[in-house]
Amino acid sequence: MKIKKNILSVFLIAAFLLTGCASKVNDKDNTIEDQTNEAETEPESGNELDASLEGLTKDEYKNLQITAEFKEQSSFLPGSTIPLEVTIKNNGDKSIAYTVGSGSFETPQALMLTIDGLQPILAKDHLGAATLDIRTSELMPGESIQHTMHIRAIEQNENFANYTYDKWEASEEYIGDTTWENLQAEHSDLTAAQAGEYTGTVYFLYYINDEEEVNPTLNATGYTACNFAVDIAK
């Protein structure tokens, strides 16, 4: 079974290494596809997140706007699951391209989240098996995308990614949907977060597309980020 790490990065930006693959281009999405084998993906550790950002220019495209908001409420109970809605909008006049990853993914690998003191949760669509393809997508001028990321109001635990995969593989139950009472009964090493305010950051990696077609093998050259704060009630 794969090695799971602690910090979420729904959200690998490293490309799958493929050989002998044909390129198939759509109007909005590019996909390298020829192999139908399945493989499982792994989240990045903090060091790998730093490595993903190394050499990239922050706000290279200054007209790319990113926001992270809690739509339903502003305060959450210890142990609960926290949905964070991330919106990325292209306010400029150039096309932005980014890595989505496997054809089975909805949440882009280019979208990553870190938070001090709380536990990020892997995206549901990144669990299980994933096809060995590389899909990129394009954000045209005036367009926006939205994705919901999830955080658990518990202390960070090095085994949490293992528990997330195991639960999905056993019953296709998303660990973010499990009640805190049941989750704690299953894993006694998980500890509810202390009351207080916690801060995190969402990152979005991209490149400015100056070509007629999106190049699915081109690495990101820039990133944008926004900070957010979440309150855990007593």
For residue range 1-34, list pLDDT tens digits in order: 433 433 344 333 333 333 333 333 344 444 433 3
Could you tell me the CA-to-CA distances from 162 to 72, 146, 168, 169, 188 in Å, in that order?
29, 27, 10, 11, 14
Between CA 104 and CA 129, with CA 24 as vertex, the angle to 5 degrees is 20
- Region for residue 172 given its phi and psi (left: phi exceeds 0; alpha: psi -120 to 50; beta: otherwise): left
Query: Residue 45's pLDDT is what?
Result: 53
Query: Residue 172's pLDDT is what?
Result: 93
Q: How many CA atoms lie within 13 A of 80 on its CB side?
A: 15
Query: Residue 49's pLDDT is what?
Result: 77
Could you tell me the CA-to-CA distances from 188 to 83, 147, 159, 181, 212 in Å, in that order?
24, 31, 11, 11, 54
Average pLDDT of the segment spanning 26-45: 41
For residue range 46-101, list pLDDT tens digits in order: 567 788 899 999 999 999 999 999 987 889 999 999 999 999 999 999 999 999 98
For a pLDDT cut of 70, what percent of the chain falls above it?
77
Report yes or no: 81 and 121 within 8 Å, Cβ to Cβ.
Answer: yes
Q: Is the alpha carbon torsion for 34, 35, 40, 44 positive or negative?
A: negative
Distance (Å, whole) CA 101 – CA 129: 13
Distance (Å, whole) CA 177 – CA 211: 42
For residue range 119-139, list pLDDT tens digits in order: 999 999 889 666 777 788 999
Query: Residue 102's pLDDT is what?
Result: 77
The model's pTM is 0.78
Domain boundaries, the chain: 23-232
What's 220's DSSP letter? Answer: P
Say whether domain 23-232 belongs to CATH 2.60.40.10: yes
Q: How confident is the model at residue 147 (pLDDT cuts 50, 70, 90)?
A: very high
Query: Residue 79's pLDDT is what?
Result: 98
Query: SS3 for 75?
Result: strand
Report yes or no: 156 and 162 within 8 Å, Cβ to Cβ.
Answer: no
Pairing of strands 57-58, 222-232: parallel
